[in-house]
A and B are shown apart, each in its own frame.
Chain A
């Protein structure tokens, strides 16, 4: 391995070393703050290592994974999100009886899985990354051992996720049997009997669709979002889904998945179903975490529209949308975390009644996050939606584009319901006194700043995303 390759892979190496350091730190001295600090430092160092990007846009790597500009962009996004989740965790566990140190161990491990996913160019690394991610997620979801809902969510996730992995493996096996290839670019150039290839691709879509909670593989989402501790829910929504989406973008661009007959039609149907089902079911929710779960189904549907478009425009739109979504969801869950006192989380919409008048900055931050989810200008979500619609229009996908427009208006309705609650007169009974959580507040401030920055002047981010998407095309040609 030469120096250039070492530099390109440095973020991954630092990230892999982080859990080891945390583990040893816990072995020496079990202390909440130290474990959090070690974990956060490691992730921050890995994030810093992504700063300059790979020396050449095509990056470094072998047959299994590649550290190109695309990987680096996604790594920085995933690491920023996981760092925020770590800080949120510190705020969340501050009042808990639970031993929280291992939380800071599981977060970097799961992030490592996601980071491997977005860089993988080979089915073996794909599966490896996905399993590293899933196994640590079981632990994260069920981390509150004392709470039945958390355990139930963990178990549900474990069982369904294993089934999804089995589907994925079976799909890979079919593809391999037909093409004799495991590397994405060999799969793209190989030919096989379409019937088996389609079956393989469909099974893989099912496996990955589970992770992205796309309809009809979404049934776990609301329960897990509700049951898992708030920072873990934030992690699933950002790092886990972000990693899988990055993989899909790469797989469509370099693995030729879009060229398979019927594949685009399949993804289009899933996108349509996710947009409609997610938004319509979210209308019925009175629990904010469940509402965010259903809304995430819809948002992943929007991102799939960009994926169907394909090409650089589609990759750019999906990546920007994901960036905006990550910032927004971190902000939303940061508010949930800030208002929660273990063992009771502020998860009902009623808990937010009058929030703006009780705690103006937090109320304003949650409004910004909700408006960004609804795609209103001045927020990141607006530009994301605009790019997705532009990509859809450029590919003349009118059904999908009009569905985005109509369903996001439906979505607006339930976001507005929460906003109405935030700005209603505060209830008479005194709000519970909450312990200060400066780190979680800092994460919230950073996320809101990112939402506004991405909404007003995202020129630099757009350039970085363009470069990242270009590196995808370079390899496939």
Chain B
């Protein structure tokens, strides 16, 4: 029931925010804040409840899910309205509501036109993302997957910057074509399962037990992989990303970078490997190569950008390469690192986009060549910018470092070469992060900029993001503990190269069934 609320609260908030526009421009913002705060509160309640239960010795959760909601939907095609939450979806849902709040606050003064419709779209995207993270029925999952697109498209196309239409259409087409490939693969899986068992269902747990021939499995795995690879994004499917991130309004960039990209990583962990373990195992070297290429290529391109938002966008390509690397290394450490990376990147990059948004709102430019010396006029903003840039470069003690470290340690066991090359990416990240800070905040204020410093609302926005990053960096154990049962269960279902090579005969699970 609580899961249904998690979906309905943002949806209801979306409609109310739109209607509330008649009362005044502030009301949509207040309604959105209230709805998202309620969602965040609900998520926190689930977490505290779950943590207090599992901390008792000897008490394990009865099933794979912490909380479930299951209702009939379309019986004739075997689709159910089945929402379920485990240690993987819980932190991501929390991140969804948290970044949603950040987005609303960040656009408090930026969005002045069509405020009601803006917040309608913002909350609708968040509802779609929540469905994606919670769906335990693949039909429902696809529903949420597509549901995110339309409002995101509107956010970019209506409130975006100079080349917004181009960016919005590109974003929509890329995700739509890859989504349709996934739909084809999904339906093929559904039909294969139905043909084997006589039970036509989209239920995740039933489909996990489908037995496929290696050839079929490879094609279906690719169908899913491409959809998630476009979202994540994986080199060479990333070309929509710099445009969309650059042109979106601040809240749009935050949600794109912080959440929509995470749905790709989530899909890889939740669907690609568990549903197609054999194919994923043989595909792992390719995926890890793509991950390493993405890490280096994203960092290299970030070095060459002069548009602040474009620069941050390319760093996302680099950072999320670590997620792909961690997923396909497929051991507990690497998976924990990948999940932690999704959270830390959501916070640090989201914050950097907000910094970029604040600068653009004040200076009406995103060109870092025209900036410089801003520290002297806006020291608080400079400090915040420096902090998040350091987080992004992987300064020990902050979330990104813990995550990337875990990924590297984990993936070193799977492929020492890939991990070693990926580590170079961390060096490059130092270069682009420091260049970002240097060109904007340090140096001389050659253009004589006079911009207002952070106002209390903005300071209040950054404070929790800063605190969370420090927490994730110093004491990520609670998050890792929440996710660990899932990671272990996922590994029981399947084995990937690292483990398979070490114990060739002992690979448990479905590979043995064939």
Contact = CB atoms under 8 A, between A and B. Distances in A.
A404 B74 CA distance: 24
Nearest to B180: A405
B183 A389 contact: yes
Interface string B133-160: 0000000001100110110011001100
B146 A377 contact: yes
Given A378-B147, A389-B187, A413-B169, A463 B76 contact: yes
Nearest to A394: B191
B157 A420 contact: yes
Contact of A416 (B77, B114, B158, B169): B169
A82 to B, nearest CB: 28
Nearest to B114: A357
A462 interface: yes
Given A420-B157, A423-B154, A462-B76, A401 B147 contact: no
Contacts of A371: 150
Contacts of B146: 376-377, 382
A337 B147 CA distance: 29
A402 B177 contact: no
Nearest to B18: A360
A462 B154 contact: no
A423 B173 contact: no
A376 B180 CA distance: 11
A457 interface: yes
Contacts of A376: 146, 149-150
B187 A412 contact: no
A405 B154 contact: no
Given A386-B187, A389-B187, A458-B74, A408 B153 contact: no
Given A378-B147, A405-B177, A412 B184 contact: no
A457 B140 CA distance: 12
Given A377-B146, A420-B165, A409 B76 contact: no
Interface in A202-261: none
A390 B191 contact: yes
A393 interface: yes
Contact of A377 (B143, B153, B181, B190): B143
B286 interface: no
Nearest to A382: B146
A466 B74 CA distance: 13
A292 B4 CA distance: 38
Contacts of B176: 409, 412
Contact of A405 (B73, B143, B173, B183): B183
Contacts of B177: 405-406, 409
A459 B76 contact: yes
B173 A409 contact: yes
B75 interface: yes
Contacts of B187: 386, 389-390, 393
A371 B150 CA distance: 9
Interface string B64-79: 0000000001111100
Contacts of B168: 420
A389 B179 CA distance: 13
B188 interface: yes
Given A405-B180, A458-B74, A377 B154 contact: no
Size bracket of the A interface? 20 to 34
B172 A412 contact: yes
A387 B184 CA distance: 11
A402 B183 CA distance: 11
Nearest to B77: A462
Nearest to A411: B176
Interface string B106-147: 000000001000000000000000000000000000110011
Contacts of A420: 157, 165, 168-169
Contact of B74 (A401, A405, A413, A459): A459
A412 B177 CA distance: 10
Nearest to B188: A393
Nearest to A417: B169
A423 B157 contact: yes
B184 A401 contact: yes
Contacts of A457: 73-74
Nearest to A462: B76
Interface string A388-431: 01100110000001101110110011001000100100000000
B184 A393 contact: yes
Contacts of A404: 180
Contacts of A377: 142-143, 146-147
Contacts of B191: 390, 393-394
Nearest to B143: A377
Contacts of B180: 389, 404-406, 408-409
A423 B146 CA distance: 20
B150 A405 contact: no
A378 B145 CA distance: 12
B307 to A, nearest CB: 23
A459 B187 CA distance: 19
Contacts of B172: 412, 416
A413 B75 CA distance: 33
Nearest to B139: A386
B75 A459 contact: yes
A459 B173 CA distance: 30
Contacts of A382: 146
Interface in A421-477: 423, 457-459, 462-463, 466
Contacts of B158: 423
Nearest to B185: A393
Contacts of B184: 389, 393, 401-402, 405
A387 B190 CA distance: 12
B72 to A, nearest CB: 8
B74 A462 contact: yes
A416 B153 contact: yes
A405 B182 CA distance: 10
A309 B465 CA distance: 54
B449 to A, nearest CB: 30
B190 A390 contact: yes
Contacts of A463: 76
Contact of B181 (A390, A394, A405, A462): A405
A386 B79 CA distance: 12
Indicate the member of B76, B154, B165 with the most A CB atoms within 10 Å.
B76
Interface string A291-328: 00000000000000000000000000000000000000
A412 B77 CA distance: 26
Contacts of A389: 180, 183-184, 187
Contacts of A406: 177, 180
Nearest to B195: A394
A376 B153 CA distance: 12
A412 B76 contact: no
A413 B176 CA distance: 10
A458 B173 CA distance: 27
Interface in A359-391: 371, 376-378, 382, 386-387, 389-390
A448 to B, nearest CB: 16
B111 to A, nearest CB: 15
Contacts of A462: 74, 76-77
12 contacts: A376-B150, A387-B77, A389-B180, A389-B187, A390-B77, A393-B184, A402-B184, A404-B180, A405-B181, A406-B177, A412-B172, A463-B76
Given A416-B172, A420-B168, 12 more contacts: A378-B143, A378-B147, A382-B146, A389-B183, A393-B187, A393-B188, A404-B180, A405-B177, A406-B177, A408-B180, A423-B158, A459-B76
Interface of A: 357, 371, 376-378, 382, 386-387, 389-390, 393-394, 401-402, 404-406, 408-409, 412-413, 416, 420, 423, 457-459, 462-463, 466
| Closest A-B pairs by Cβ, 6 of them | A405-B180, A409-B177, A377-B146, A462-B76, A390-B187, A393-B187
